[in-house]
Amino acid sequence: MQDGLASTTKRSDVLLKKPAQTATTVQAEVPAIPVEQELTLLRGFRDLVGQRWGVFVGRRLKQQELTEKTEAERKAVNDVRKEITKNIPDWIAKGDKASYDAKMADLKTASEAHSEAKKATGIPPVIKSLAQGQRYLDNEAIPNALSELGTPVQPAFSLAEWLKNRLEEQKKAKKAKK
């Protein structure tokens, strides 16, 4: 091993080497926060969650818009893929590599056209920035805000009872519709 590699540890290595976790309840002592400060923090947290939801919805709408604007190119790629999948057994049986190579060239051309059509819309950079913002809110801003409120984020290995009940209700409602 090189000296530089020996001193670094990957996050996945650390996660794999942790001892087995047991289900225990941790009682964290919440520091007393003055009411005015807590109210300010709660309002800020409300705004953070509202911002996160807005970014999430905006990203979904932009992805939907991109899909609609590149529908023809996307369908062309899918059609070529379907044709390749359908004809592979025949090409193998006949040993027809030329037909396979021709369809793969068609697929490459269609994929490049789809990629160019997506770039031409100007939407992918917007989606990327929204995804980065969403990731930041999820990984940094919201956990930090919760810590400031005296509620540190802890891993959950099971669902809360109210959440289990709500998911079960949704499942029953979905079955009733069918």
Q: Does 157 fall in a domain?
A: no
Q: Does 20 fall in a domain?
A: no
Name which of 117, 80, 119 is nearest 100 in CA terms: 80
> What is the residue range of 92's domain?
34-150
C-alpha separations of 128 from 63, 79, 91, 95 in Å? 10, 28, 40, 44
| Residue pLDDT tens, the chain, 178 long | 344 434 333 433 434 444 444 444 555 555 677 889 889 999 999 999 999 999 999 999 999 999 999 999 999 999 999 999 999 999 999 999 999 999 999 999 999 999 999 999 999 999 999 999 999 999 999 999 998 888 888 888 898 999 999 999 999 999 998 8
pTM score, whole prediction: 0.67
Q: Does 27 fall in a domain?
A: no
Q: Does 38 fall in a domain?
A: yes
Q: Does 23 fall in a domain?
A: no
Number of folded domains in the chain? 1
Q: Does 173 fall in a domain?
A: no
Q: Check: CB of residue 45 under 8 Å from CB of residue 149.
A: yes
Q: Does 175 fall in a domain?
A: no
Q: Does 9 fall in a domain?
A: no
